[in-house]
Structure 1
């Protein structure tokens, strides 16, 4: 259970506004604060003043027959928000009637959650008062404005099989004035990447505003989760964002295991960490090479691609999948590491360390690369903090938060997690953070092998109680991943909400591109590398 040393200050300042505290182990490691709706906005304001970071907000419709039998005769919306400070987590919770689903927005105090609130409205019908941006976000004309997919009366297969009309009427921000011209980019791009629309307002080549329009990869993940068994949910979670399959699957498992009181075998926990660090290294290698390629340094791109390919082939050989999909299952892992595989990894790590250092030395000390990356795409610490950025985007701007270090989960509480931090906030800093994380993950991989215990690799997930809830918090390679799970009366999933770190880093891209030239957008974008799929759900 989180210490949450700042909670007494929050409670004392809330005063008589209708707050009451409930220590609830089902949402460990967070504490849980039940609020009257009137206290929702004041709680956010005070938390912001106390230096808390907002880690996500979601709505949970309680409108099935089982929900009504358990919670009363009137359908309701349960709304939850997760706050963090100093590695301690706090869940704020309130409920509003579905017939009058109004609640004050917390976005004026935490700008980074504006899109999450808009997403919650589009999927549940929750109406935010005082929301700074009332435009729809996730809904691309694919369902009527008065229909909400996460409600019980909306079928999982959808209501209209016809092709959705083009979203041509989305109200973009108006141009900034005379001499400004607009440059629309996407959603279809000149490469094998996911779709997203970027609308630039530029004066000459200087970017004065960037507005993103995402949501093109919305697959209905949250609706598809309803009714699944735990194994089915983990397979779905592993596809929230394919390049973060280990982290999202682990977060979903962690939430369900906490909800059901499952003790994961120690060997399985170490193997999960080994998989997660392999995922981190593979993706950082890809990004380092791609950033270098975007500024014409093809040598680093080719070398990183070569090493990443070797790394992923080994993952396929030892764990069954290049991207490590479906390697994590409820209660443990799907496949053990053999004695021969153990020795292979030992040799691989030593050889890999020797291979990367000459390449990393060049990347860190090449003047022509510095010319393109230094001072490009500056994100200040204040902006990163205001938006709630974690991962390499936050670390490159001076924010040292890492779940493995600040709120460690097994087996990381036994490891020394070194958090690489830069303060410059530019593309070069985001590259250096990635270099540091690759080196740190390599060191941890050997420590994990040193500490790999004998024993089982999985244990059955106990049947959860009706309505049991769980919270998963994992540090993926992009940053903090949050997963919320609620079970129904039959042991199946009633609500699943995965929050990828890209929800906070995509808005950061809109800020860090300002003052740069349009041709530098590709390298700025790659340095952030938000997940379209992880964001769009």
Structure 2
């Protein structure tokens, strides 16, 4: 399948039919031959898959090449069929299964045709297809088999003992050693992409912010940037910097919570307690500064809905001072506790090659050598004016994923200080509809559908949003891709060869989103 001297991503885009108004990155409708050339690049490891999603009559694929150039290619699906990407590039498998469930698209050659999101409970099959079908039967799910002497299976979930979203984990083990883990997700499918269709921009922005609750800032930012790209809207400078401030506060809260929770799964509750206190401090500071602990619905297309006053700024400065005083001692406690290190070091290793193949984002990828951060490259404002490092380790174990979070906490504290020190004055919101009419009148496209895409760095990794705004100004189609799509399969690989009792700590070190994945 793999050939030498394959074309560049730009060549494939130029070989297709370019779609106007797809910004900031191009999209082209291509022939099956060109689609297959892109699949070869993915299979060779030269390119990365950023996303794959469907519509009733076509399939789209977002690609990242070695130069960090991004492009989208689309393929018309005659008869609902198209050449499978997943048969040559495994990261596409679950995305193709999801598109099959939602749009009745049939990838030819897909090695795994089991339903993924559709558990037979919707009352309708292929709900987003041009002609949805009748109810799908709730057939039993056929888990993959493993052969060997004295193997047994352990079924965990989908309902768990703690306050956690549902997901099923099927372990095959020999004694205490995990031979295979297989996940079944989709239990918290909310139909967000269906609800997006026909929604007004303000309603769609609220839906985007609820894709995964712990990443409401990141999703709101990605959606807003995609809308602004589609409509040619430039938010005010102060709004851009306030968005980054919220994003770093969200990153701080989640990393602090995760560090403590990982230690708690190793029965080291004191770290959990102290990190929980610091996380609560972040949430209270966010509430004081932006009127909501999670900063939900504060980022909208055109800017932000509120401003930062002096009291809010002081609350954040006090927060930074407190974390800088208390966090180093917690890091020292983690690093010098032998019983804790025994649980985290060399546990749940993710190979560098797998992290690269799956384009794993965030702490999962960076702990296994993948040096990628959407804030830096391809990059977006105001991070191009801010100084920060992207920590990268090679070990790929639970300990490495903890240390990536530790270093990112330190970087976020620095970024918060830089943002507060350089925050520009001025308005925080512009009218999106008015700008669209003005821009459209200038180029004769005021009533034409317009497309936009954004890639934003959330605390888990890169979040992709692609959308099309219809002639009436409502959302025609919106796809939201969580980093967990490419991280959940890697958890299955990382747990192999570990003991069953180490699964909770491995799972928490990944901390994939159920809700963001299940849409």
TM-score range, shorter chain: over 0.9
Structure 1 residues 10 and 498 mapped into 2: Cα distance closer, same or farther (>3 Å)?
closer
1:83-94 matches, cutoff 5 A: 83-94=64-75
Cα deviation for residue 11 of structure 1 reads: 6.7
Q: Deviations over 1:219-253 (max 9, x none)?
A: 10100111111111110001000000000111111
Q: What's the CA shift string for 1:436-470, capped at 9, x where partnerless?
A: 11100000001111110000101111336432111
8 Å contact 1:37–1:96 — kept in the other structure? no
C-alpha contact 2:29 2:74 (8 A) present in aligned 1: yes
Aligned positions of 1:57-96 closer than 5 A: 57-61=52-56, 76-96=57-77
Q: For residues 314 and 339 of structure 1, what CA distance do their matches in structure 2 show?
A: 13
The answer on 1:43 being equivalent to 2:67 is no
Structure 1 runs not aligned, ≥5 long: 1-5, 62-75
Aligned counterparts of 1:527 and 1:250: Cα–Cα separation in 2: 25
Counterpart of 1:201 (choices 172, 187, 190) is 172
User: Residues 379-390 of structure 1: matches in 2 within 5 Å?
Assistant: 379-390=350-361
Question: Equivalent residue for 2:308?
Answer: 337
Distance 1:379 1:296 in 2: 23
Matched, 1:136 2:132: no
How many Å separate the matches in 2 of 1:177 and 1:270?
A: 57
Other structure's SS at 2:8 match: helix
State the TM-score, normalized to the length of structure 1. 0.90
Q: Is the 8 A contact 2:283 2:294 kept in 1?
A: yes
User: Residues of 2 paired with 1:362 and 1:307: CA distance?
Assistant: 15
Question: Is this contact kept in 2: 1:402–1:475, CA < 8 A?
Answer: yes
For residue 79 of structure 1, give the secondary structure of its aligned residue in structure 2. Answer: strand
CA contact (8 A) 2:21 2:450 kept: no
Q: Does 1:244 align with 2:215?
A: yes
Q: 1:27 aligns with which of 23, 28, 33?
A: 23
Partners of 2:218 and 2:10 lie apart in 1 by 33
CA distance in 1, matches of 2:508, 2:412: 21
Taking the TM superposition and a 5 Å limit, the aligned residue runs for 1:338-417 are: 338-417=309-388
Distance 1:50 1:306 in 2: 43
Structure 2 SS opposite 1:85: coil
In structure 2, the CA distance between the partners of 1:144 and 1:105, relative to structure 1 (3 Å rule), is farther
For residue 107 of structure 1, the aligned residue among 86, 90, 97 is 86
Q: Secondary structure at the match of 1:210?
A: strand
> 1:488-499 counterparts in 2 under 5 A?
488-499=470-481
The Cα of 1:37 is off from its aligned counterpart by: 2.5
User: Equivalents in 1 of 2:308, 2:159: separation in Å?
Assistant: 41
Counterpart of 1:70 in structure 2 is: none
Q: State the secondary structure of the residue aligned to 1:131.
A: coil
User: Residue 22 of structure 2: SS of its match in structure 1?
Assistant: helix
Instruction: Give the 3 Å change call, closer, same or farther, for CA 21–466 of structure 1 in structure 2.
Output: closer
Asked if residue 521 in structure 1 is aligned to residue 503 in structure 2, the reply is: yes
Shift in alpha-carbon separation, 1:394–1:307, aligned structure 2, 3 A: same
Does the 8 Å CA contact 2:363/2:461 hold for their aligned counterparts?
Answer: yes
Q: Which residue of 1 aligns with 2:98?
A: 119
Please name the residue that 2:199 is paired with.
228
- Following superposition, the deviation at residue 168 of structure 1 comes to 5.4
Query: How far is 1:330 from its partner?
Result: 1.3
Moved more, 318-327 or 207-216: 318-327
1:327–1:18 CA distance, 2 compared to 1 (3 A)? closer
User: Offset of 1:133 from its aligned partner?
Assistant: 1.2
CA–CA distance in 2 between the matches of 1:50 and 1:512?
Answer: 20
Counterpart-to-counterpart distance in 2, 1:328 and 1:150: 28
SS state of the match for residue 494, structure 1? strand
| Pairing partner for 1:52 from 33, 47, 50 | 47
Gaps of 5+ in 2: 437-445
CA contact (8 A) 2:218 2:457 kept: yes
Q: How has the CA–CA distance of structure 1 residues 171 and 359 changed in structure 2, closer, same or farther, with 3 Å as cutoff? A: same
Rounded to whole Å, the distance in 2 between the matches of 1:480 and 1:373 is 25
State the distance in 2 between where 1:18 and 1:258 align: 21
Q: For the residues of structure 1 that align with 2:130 and 2:475, how far apart are their CA atoms?
A: 13
Q: CA deviation at 1:347?
A: 2.7
Q: Secondary structure at the match of 1:455?
A: coil
RMSD: 2.1
Question: Residue 320 in 1 paired to residue 317 in 2?
Answer: no
CA distance in 2, matches of 1:25, 1:379: 39
Q: Partners in 2 of 1:10 and 1:251 — Cα distance?
A: 23
Could you say which residue in structure 2 is the equivalent of 1:73?
none
Give the count of matched residue pairs.
504
**CA positional deviation for 1:366:** 2.2
- Measured after TM superposition, the shift of residue 311 of structure 1 is 1.3
Normalized against structure 2, the TM-score is what?
0.93
Partner of 2:251: 280
